Structure 1
Amino acid sequence: MLAQRRGGAEMAASGTQSELRLVVLGPVKPGNRTAVCSILGLDESQRDAGAQECTKHRGEAAGRQVVVVSSPAWYGSACSPDNRRTLISSLIASSSPGPHAFLLCVPVNEPAGDESLALDALAKLFGPAAVSGHTVVLFTHTEELGEDETLEQYVVTWRKDLRQLVERCSDRYHTLESGGAAAAEEEGRAVEELLEKVEQAVKESGGKHLSCPLYREAKERVRQRQMEIVRQRSPDSSASDPQREVKEEEMEAVREEAERSTGDFALNLDDIFPSHEKSVSPSAAPPSFLRGLWEKLVVWLRWLPSLVRVEALFGSLVGLFVGGSMGGTVGATVGSVATEVSRRKTEKTK
Structure 2
Amino acid sequence: MEEPPYLSGDAEFTVLLFGRSDRSQFSLANSILRTDVFDDELCDIAESQRHRNEAFERKLAVVNTPNLSVYEASQKELKRVFKMSVCKSSPGPYVVLFAFHLNNISPSAVRILELVTKYFGDSILNHMMVVVCHEEDKEDSALEKIVKHNRDFRELIEKCGQRYHLFNERKARRDEKVSKQLLEKMDDMVRDNGCRFYSNHQYQEAEERIQTEEHFIMKGRKKEMLTKRKELESRYTGEGLEKELLLFETRIRVENREKAERKISEVLGFTLTAVDYAAAVGKGAALGALCGAVMGFEGMAVGAAVGAVVGGVIGGAASAAWGYVTNAAAQMNRR
Q: TM-score normalised by the shorter chain: which range applies?
A: 0.5 to 0.7
Question: What is the SS of the residue equivalent to 1:267?
Answer: coil
1:135 matched residue in structure 2? 128
Match of 1:229 among 217, 220, 223: 217
Pairing 1:207–2:195 present: yes
Q: Say whether the 8 Å CA contact 1:28–1:52 is kept in structure 2.
A: no
CA distances 1:150-206 after superposition (whole Å, capped 9, x unpaired): 2211122x2121022112211211133255xx66443x1121121112221111111
Question: What is the SS of the residue equivalent to 2:103?
Answer: coil
Pairing 1:166–2:157 present: yes
1:152 matched residue in structure 2? 144
Question: What is the SS of the residue equivalent to 1:247?
Answer: helix
Q: Comparing 191-200 with 10-19, which one deviates more in the overlay?
A: 10-19
User: Which one has a larger percent helix, Structure 1 or Structure 2?
Assistant: 2
CA distances 1:258-298 after superposition (whole Å, capped 9, x unpaired): 111212422268988xxxxxxxxxxxxxxxxxxxxxxxxxx
Q: Say whether the 8 Å CA contact 1:106–1:112 is kept in structure 2.
A: no
1:57-72 matches, within 5 Å, as 57-72=51-66
1:196 matched residue in structure 2? 184
Match of 2:31 among 32, 38, 61: 38
Higher relative contact order (CA 8 A, sep 6+): 1
Question: Structure 1 residues 184 and 90 mapped into 2: Cα distance closer, same or farther (>3 Å)?
Answer: closer
Question: Structure 1 residues 79 and 47 mapped into 2: Cα distance closer, same or farther (>3 Å)?
Answer: farther
C-alpha RMSD of the superposition: 3.4
Normalised TM-score (structure 1): 0.63
Letter in 1 for 2:106: A
Question: What is the SS of the residue equivalent to 1:122?
Answer: helix
Deviation at 1:136, TM superposition (A): 0.9
Alpha-carbon distance in structure 1 between the residues aligned to 2:168 and 2:9: 30
1:71-86 matches, within 5 Å, as 71-74=65-68, 78-86=72-80
Pairing 1:20–2:8 present: no
Pairing 1:100–2:94 present: yes
Question: Structure 1 residues 16 and 128 mapped into 2: Cα distance closer, same or farther (>3 Å)?
Answer: farther
Alpha-carbon distance in structure 2 between the residues aligned to 1:183 and 1:229: 41
Alpha-carbon distance in structure 2 between the residues aligned to 1:123 and 1:17: 30
Letter in 2 for 1:203: R
Question: Structure 1 residues 117 and 254 mapped into 2: Cα distance closer, same or farther (>3 Å)?
Answer: same
Alpha-carbon distance in structure 1 between the residues aligned to 2:31 and 2:190: 21
1:265 matched residue in structure 2? 268
Letter in 1 for 2:182: L
Question: Structure 1 residues 224 and 47 mapped into 2: Cα distance closer, same or farther (>3 Å)?
Answer: farther
Question: Structure 1 residues 138 and 203 mapped into 2: Cα distance closer, same or farther (>3 Å)?
Answer: same
Q: Say whether the 8 Å CA contact 2:87–2:207 is kept in structure 1.
A: yes
Question: What is the SS of the residue equivalent to 1:67?
Answer: strand
Q: Comparing 195-204 with 25-34, which one deviates more in the overlay?
A: 25-34
1:264-343 matches, within 5 Å, as 264-267=267-270
Deviation at 1:229, TM superposition (A): 0.9
1:252 matched residue in structure 2? 254
Alpha-carbon distance in structure 1 between the residues aligned to 2:9 and 2:206: 15
Question: Structure 1 residues 94 and 48 mapped into 2: Cα distance closer, same or farther (>3 Å)?
Answer: farther
Q: Say whether the 8 Å CA contact 2:63–2:85 is kept in structure 1.
A: yes
Which ranges in structure 2 are unaligned for 5 or more consecutive residues? 226-245, 277-335
Alpha-carbon distance in structure 1 between the residues aligned to 2:23 and 2:69: 18
Question: Structure 1 residues 71 and 102 mapped into 2: Cα distance closer, same or farther (>3 Å)?
Answer: same
Letter in 2 for 1:118: I
Question: What is the SS of the residue equivalent to 2:260?
Answer: helix
Alpha-carbon distance in structure 2 between the residues aligned to 1:76 and 1:51: 10
Q: Comparing 65-74 with 102-111, which one deviates more in the overlay?
A: 102-111
Letter in 1 for 2:162: D
Q: Which has the larger radius of gyration?
A: 2
Which ranges in structure 1 are unaligned for 5 or more consecutive residues? 1-7, 238-243, 273-350
Q: Say whether the 8 Å CA contact 1:23–1:68 is kept in structure 2.
A: yes
Q: Say whether the 8 Å CA contact 1:74–1:88 is kept in structure 2.
A: no
Normalised TM-score (structure 2): 0.65
2:208 matched residue in structure 1? 220
